[in-house]
């Protein structure tokens, strides 16, 4: 065989191989396209299924929430009714107790006091006399001249001496100023009369 024959055979083999590769690529491409479209269809189905499951779960949650809200509302209404009934009973009981107390006070006021004996009256008079005697003694002590003078000294002292026993200089200066002013006025009055 010659080189030309070999070249032709090699070219024919290459062409055959190229055709086979092209066919394989076409087959693979169509297979990939089929697989991709199948996968897309399955993904779409899975998405729709997930969407339906989500809607169903949301509806169930919504229904459960509505049931829970209704149960809570019913419980709150029952509790409010029970509290109202208890408060009404307590108010009625308090009102009845107050009415009984008022009635017993009125009944006690209507009952006349039992008559007192002479001994009880004399005992009461002795207590009143003793109380009056004590108050008269206190009054005599209060108006005694030495006690009045003592209170006057204490009052004047409190003007010039503070609670700690110290002298209040501003008050002393005002008193001295007043005495000097009076002495000065008398001296001026005497000079005018002469």
Q: Could you state, in chain order, the average pLDDT of each consecutive group of 10 residues for the chain (194 residues)?
A: 68 76 76 72 73 73 70 72 77 81 73 81 92 90 88 84 85 88 89 81
Say if 134 falls within a structural domain.
Answer: yes
d(CA 152, CA 156): 6
What integer pLDDT is reported at residue 129 of this predicted model?
92
Answer yes or no: is 178 within a domain: yes
Report the alpha-carbon distance of residue 93 to residue 99 in Å, rounded: 10
Domain count, the chain: 1
Three-state secondary structure call for residue 161:
strand
Inside any domain, residue 188: yes
Residue 123: its pLDDT value, please?
92
In a domain? residue 166: yes
Residue 103 lies in a domain: no
Phi then psi for residue 167, to 5 deg, are -80, 140
Q: Are 161 and 168 in contact (CB under 8 A)?
A: yes
Helices (H), the chain: 3-110, 118-143, 145-160, 169-193
Q: Which residues pair with residue 167 across a beta bridge?
A: 161
Domain limits for position 169: 127-193
Cα angle, residue 21 at apex, residues 18 and 24 outer, rounded to 5°: 150
Is 81 a member of any domain? no
The answer as to whether 92 is a domain residue is no
The model's pTM is 0.30
Residue 177 has, within 13 A of its CA and on its CB side, a CA count of 6
């Amino acid at each position: 065989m010659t080189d030309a024959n070999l070249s032709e055979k090699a070219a024919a083999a290459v062409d055959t191989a190229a055709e086979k590769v092209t066919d394989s690529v076409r087959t693979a491409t169509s297979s990939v396209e089929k697989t991709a479209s199948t996968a897309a269809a399955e993904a779409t189905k899975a998405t729709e299924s997930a969407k339906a499951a989500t809607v169903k779960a949301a509806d169930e949650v919504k229904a459960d929430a509505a049931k829970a809200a209704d149960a809570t509302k019913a419980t709150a209404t029952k509790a409010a009714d029970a509290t109202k009934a208890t408060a009404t009973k307590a108010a009625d009981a308090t009102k009845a107790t107050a009415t009984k107390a008022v009635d017993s006070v009125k009944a006690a006021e209507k009952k006349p006091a039992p008559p007192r004996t002479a001994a009880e009256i004399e005992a009461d008079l002795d207590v009143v006399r003793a109380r009056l005697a004590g108050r008269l003694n206190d009054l005599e002590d209060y108006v005694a001249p030495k006690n009045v003078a003592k209170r006057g000294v204490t009052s004047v002292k409190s003007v010039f001496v503070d609670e700690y026993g110290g002298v209040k200089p501003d008050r002393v200066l005002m008193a001295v100023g007043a005495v000097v002013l009076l002495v000065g006025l008398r001296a001026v009055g005497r000079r005018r009369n002469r």
